[in-house]
Structure 1
Amino acid sequence: MIREVALRLARQRVYTHLLVGARFARPEDVVAWFGASQSQEYGPAKWSLGQRAEGVTDADVEKLLADGAILRTHVLRPTWHFVLPADIRWMLELTGPRVLAQTASYYRRLGLDEATLEKSNTTIERALRGGNHLTRKELKTVLEKSGIDVEGYRVQFIVMNAELRGLICSGPRRGKQHTYALLEERAPNARVLDSEQALAELTLRFFTSHGPATLKDFGWWSSLKLTDAKRGLEMVGSQLTEEEIRRGLLVVWFAYGPGIPLTEHRSPAGLRRVRRCLQGQPARHRCVRDRPSP
C-alpha cells in the first residue's frame, strides 16, 4: 500500500516538475511556473530551465539573463534562485525578512551589525546607480575604500544582505564573472503585492508546481513560519485538491484531482519509462517531509 502511494505521488511530482509531458515554449515560463528556481550552481541551473522548454539552447538562456528577462538573486532561502522581474520585489518582501532572521547568527559572528550593513548598502547603491554593473570583487574594492571591513566571509554576507533587502540583483555576466545591478533598474516594473496577496500567490505557485506536497514541504521551500504557511494554504485551499493518506497520517495538496487517469495529465511520450538527469539541488529531488510509517 505504502509503496503504491509513494509511486503515485512520485509520478505526479515528476509531472508537476515538468520532467515528463508537455514543455513550455520559453524558459521564462518555466521560472514563472515554479515561482523561483534554485540556481546556486549556475550552469546546471540554466540547463534545468532548458530541459523544461522546447528547443532552447544555453545561449538562449544566457541572453535572457543578460537582458534581465530572468534575474538571479538570494530569495526564499539563503541561496540563489532564478526569478522573473515581475515577481522579484513581492517575493523578496515576503520571504527576505524571514531569511535574514534565519541567518542572523552568521551576521553576529562576523560582526556585521545594522549600522555596518546600512553603510554598506548605501555604498553599494551609489556605486551601482546609473546602470553600473560590478562584480563582487569590484564591490569589495568599493566597500574597502569606504572604510568597511570585508575580510573573510564578510563581503559575501554584505552582498547577500543587499539582495535580501531588495537593493541589488544580478546584472549581465562579464565574461565568466557575475555582476550585480540595482534591482530597481533591472526590474522597474516589478509587481507590488500586499503581504496577504503575496502569501496567497506564493502558496498557489508552490503547490501547483511542486505538488503533491505537504505543509512542511512548503514551509521548508519558502522559509516561512509554519503558521504563515498554513495561513497561505487556507487562503488558496479551494483552488487545490487535498488528499489524506493512511487516515490522515500524511496530508498532501496539489492542483489537480486524484484518480484521473495519467493519460489525461501527460502526453504519450511522458508515459514511457524515462531516465532524466537532475541537477544537484535539494529542491529538485526533495522527498515529502512527512512520511507515514509502513
Structure 2
Amino acid sequence: MGDTRTRTIDAAERRARLGVRHRLAGSARAGSAEEVAGALVALHGTDPASVFLAVGARLAGNDGPVADVERALYEDRSLVRMHGMRHTVFVLPAALAPAVQASTTDPAAARERATLIRHLAAGSDFDAAWLAETERLVLAELAVRGEATGAELGGAVPALRSTYLYGKGTRQEGVQSVASRVLRLLGMEGRIVRGRPQGTWTSSRFRWARPAGPGAGPPSPLDPAAARAELMLRWLRACGPATEADLKWWTGWKVTDVRGALAAVGALPVTLDEGTGFVLPDDLDPVTERATETGPWAALLPALDPTAMGWQARDWYLDPEHRAALYDRSGNIGPTVWWDGRIVGGWAQRPDGEIVHRLLTDVGAAAGHAIGAEAERLAGWVGDVRVTPRFRTPLERELGA
C-alpha cells in the first residue's frame, strides 16, 4: 500500500502561496486588471474604491490602475460588477459570471423577489403584477436612454418613486422607497447592469444600463451543481488550502453544497493548523518561500481586499490581538499593511491627501523601508483623489483624522 498520510501545510507555506497566487510578491505582479481579477477569482465591489486599490496594489509599475480598470469594466466589459457570494457586490471576470449567477446569485435573487413581494403586500396596495409592470417600464426607459441614474429613472417612471410601510407593528417599522429594491433586484437577475458612475472612480452613484456587448443579457443558465464546481475549482486554485468552514463562509452556500462541490472537483484533504483543509488534487507539491523566487514583499491593501477577506479563519496571517483595530463591528476589515504574508499594520489617507500608516508589529528596518516605498507608490497614483472607506475601522479613523 502507498503512503496514506495526510499532507500537512503549515502557516508559512500558506503565506508563500498567497504572495505568488494573489500577485502581491514583486515578481508575481500582474500586467492588467483582468489578470488580477482572474488570480483572485473576484474583487469585493461593495466599496467602489476598493476595486481600484486592490488592482493597483498588484499591478507592476507605478502608473496606477484607474484607466485599466475603467477600460475593463465600461469599454471591453471583460470585467463585470454583480451580486455574488454572501449577497455582496463583486467585480469578476465576465467569463466567470455565468457560474456565479447559477451557483450563488440566482437563489439569492429568487429569495429577494419573494421577500419584496411579501413586503409590498404587507405594507402597500402593490402586488406581483404591479412589480412586473414597474420593471417593464424601467427596462423600456433604459432601452431608450441607454443608461440612467436611479434618480433619472425615478423621474421617468413614477412608480419607482412609490413607498411602502416596512415592518408594520415592529420596532423596524418605517417608510421605505421602492426604487432601490427594484433596481437591485433587476441587477441581481442580470437584467440591468451598473455602468460608469457619476464623479470619480471612488463614487458609488452608478448609472444603470441594459446589458450590452458579447453575451448581452443575463448570463446563460448553467446547472447549479456544475456552476458550484466551477467556482470551487477557481477558488481552490487561487486560495487553497481552505477548511470547509472557510468555503461555506466565502461562498454563502449550504454545507451540503460545499461538500458536493469539493467532491466534484476531487479535492483532497490536508492538515492545517486549524484542522482539515482541502486542495485540488494537483496542488499537493510543497510551496516554499525559496521556491517562489520572489523574496519578502510589502503591500498596502484596501478595506475589504479579497486577500484579507478570503478566509473565515485568519490567524495564519493576522495576529488576533490586532483584530479590534483593523475590523469594524460587523467584521469588515479596513486598510491593511502586509509584510511577507502577514498583516502587520494599517493605513489611511488624511484629508490633505497624505498616505500614513502604522505598524502594529516590529518588522525591522528593511521591511519598514519596503512598506514606505509602497506607501509612496500608492500616493503617486491616487493623486488628488480622496479615499475614505465605506466601512471605517478604529485604526483607519485614527490615522485619517
Q: Shorter chain as normaliser: what TM range?
A: 0.7 to 0.9
Which residue is 2:66 aligned to?
Answer: 58
How many residue pairs were aligned?
Answer: 282
For the 8 Å contact 2:247–2:311, the answer to whether it is kept is: no
2:305 aligned with 1:278, yes or no? no
In the other structure, the counterpart of 2:24 is 19
Q: Please identify which structure carries the higher helix content.
A: 1
Q: Which structure has more strand as a fraction of its residues?
A: 2
Q: Which moved more, 1:119-128 or 1:10-19?
A: 10-19
- Show the 5 A alignment for 1:237-256: 237=266, 240-245=267-272, 249-253=275-279, 256=283
| CA distances 1:104-145 after superposition (whole Å, capped 9, x unpaired) | 797455658644543333222112125711112223333425
CA apart distance, 1:196 = 3.5
**CA apart distance, 1:191:** 6.0
1:5 equivalenced with 2:34 (yes/no): no
TM-score for the superposition, normalised by structure 2: 0.60
Cα deviation, residue 204, structure 1: 0.6
Give the TM-score normalised by the residue count of structure 1: 0.79
Contact 2:87–2:105 (8 Å) recurs in 1: no
Which amino acid is 1:59 matched to? A
Q: 2:39 matched to 1:33?
A: yes
Q: Structure 2 unaligned segments of length 5 or more: list them.
A: 1-8, 165-174, 316-401
Closer/same/farther in 2, CA of residues 132 and 207 from structure 1, 3 Å limit: same
RMSD: 3.3
User: Within 2, Cα distance between the matches of 1:59 and 1:227?
Assistant: 42
Where 1:199 maps in the other structure, the secondary structure is helix
Distance in 2 between the 1:169 and 1:125 partners? 11
Aligned mates of 1:153, 1:73 — CA distance in 2? 22
Cα distance in 1, alignment partners of residues 182 and 160 from structure 2: 14
CA distance in 1, matches of 2:28, 2:135: 43
1:80 to 74, 82, 89: 89
**Which residue pairs with 2:195 in the alignment?**
171
User: Whole-Å Cα distance in 2 between the matches of residues 267 and 114 of structure 1?
Assistant: 59
Pick aligned residue for 1:216 from 245, 249, 255: 245
Residues 39, 225 of structure 1: alpha-carbon distance in 2 compared, 3 angstrom cutoff: same
Change (3 A) 1:74 1:139: farther
Match of 1:263 in 2: 290
- TM-superposed deviation, 1:153: 5.0
Structure 1, unpaired ranges of 5+: none
* Alignment map for 1:111-260 (pairs within 5 Å): 111=123, 114-129=128-143, 132-145=146-159, 148-149=162-163, 152-176=176-200, 177-183=205-211, 187-188=215-216, 193-237=222-266, 240-245=267-272, 249-253=275-279, 256-260=283-287
d(CA) in 1 for partners of 2:214, 2:158: 25
> CA separation in 2, counterparts of 1:157 and 1:28?
30
SS at match of 2:163: coil
| CA distance 1:96–1:119, change in 2 (3 Å) | farther
Q: Point out which structure has higher relative CO (alpha carbons under 8 A, 6+ apart).
A: 1
Find the structure with the greater CA-based Rg.
2
Residues 38, 80 of structure 1: 8 Å contact kept: yes
Give 1:25 deviation, angstroms: 2.1
SS of equivalent to 1:285: coil
1:277 counterpart SS class? strand
More displaced stretch, 45-54 vs 148-157: 148-157
CA distance in 1, matches of 2:264, 2:127: 37
The answer (yes or no) to whether the contact 1:22–1:267 under 8 Å persists in 2 is no
Shift in Å, 1:243? 0.7
